[in-house]
């Protein structure tokens, strides 16, 4: 297992001063993949919040809306489609980009997510560089 320190060291050169601290909320189970992604985001200059418990999720959502939400659909206790629907029904979250990270690659799932208002549907295992590009693009547009 790689320690935070080593990870940080590896990512340091990638940190960029050009990005203002934009806040990204990652909702999902505390998996290694999420940790790696969030480290990459942090070292690229984003502010990252991870919420993996229902209570925590709602607490974070009540505060100031983030610039982008990454919604990991592999949470056992929470249906990501339900959450997506709830978010889109609230005015504050209507225009915030939401990316779904999922293990299911079926077209039905992708269609459902996009119809419910997701801006992107990314199937795991994703390419970190690719996802970073997509995030930068989505946040940059705002």
Partner 1 sequence: MSEVNVKNSAKQGKHSPLEQTKIRFRLIIVIPVITTLLVLGVGWYMIELSTRELLIKSTPETVMQYRASVQTTIEHSTIAVVVGGIFSLAIGIVMAYAITAPIRKLTDDTTSIARGDLSRTIHLSGDGEIAMLGSAFNNMLSSINQYLLQTMSGGVVTINDRGEITSISADAEVILGFNARDMIGRDIKDMIPYNRDNRKFHKVISETLEQRQTFSSQEMTITTDRREAIPISISTSFLRDHDNTLIGLIVSFEDVKHLRKIQEQMRIVDRLTMLGGLAAGIAHQVRNPLCSIRGLAQLLKENSETESLLTEYSNVILSDVDRIDRVVDRLLKFIQPSSSSWSFESLNEIVDDTILLSKHEIRKKEIELQIDYDDDLPMILCQRENLMQAIMNIVVNAFQAIDIQGRVSIRTRKSIGETEDSFGEICLEISDNGGGIAPEDMDRIFDPSFTTKEDGSGFGLAITKQTVEIHGGNIDFFSENGDGSTFTIWLPIKKQRNGEA
The site map against partner 1 for 30-59 (x = CB under 8 A) is -xxx-xxx--x-------------------
Question: Cα(29)–Cα(39) distance, rounded to whole angstroms?
Answer: 15
Q: How far is CA 93 from the centre of its chain?
A: 14
Stretch that binds partner 1, among 19-27, 80-88, 119-127, 134-142 (CB under 8 A): 119-127
Q: Is the dihedral of CA 17, 124, 71, 86 positive or negative?
A: positive
The residue from 56, 82, 127, 133 that contacts partner 1 (CB under 8 A) is 127
Check binding of 138 to partner 1 (CB under 8 A).
no
Residue 97: count other Cβ atoms within 10 Å of its Cβ.
20
Shorter beta-carbon distance to partner 1: residue 82 or 106: 106
Within a 10 A sphere around the Cβ of 132, how many other Cβ atoms? 17
* Window 88 to 117, contacts with partner 1 (CB under 8 A): 103-108
CB of 123 to partner 1, least distance (A): 8
């Amino acid at each position: 297992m790689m320690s935070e320190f080593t990870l940080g060291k590896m990512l340091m050169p990638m940190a960029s001063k050009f990005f203002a601290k934009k806040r990204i909320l990652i909702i999902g189970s505390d998996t290694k993949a999420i940790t790696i992604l969030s480290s990459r985001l942090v070292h690229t200059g984003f502010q990252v919040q991870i919420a993996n418990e229902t209570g925590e999720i709602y607490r974070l959502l009540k505060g100031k809306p983030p610039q982008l939400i990454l919604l990991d659909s592999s949470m056992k206790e929470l249906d990501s489609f339900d959450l997506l629907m709830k978010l889109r029904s609230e005015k504050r979250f209507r225009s915030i980009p939401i990316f779904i990270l999922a293990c299911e690659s079926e077209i039905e799932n992708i269609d459902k997510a996009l119809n419910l208002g997701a801006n992107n549907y990314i199937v795991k295992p994703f390419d970190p560089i690719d996802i970073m590009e997509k995030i930068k693009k989505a946040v940059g547009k705002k």
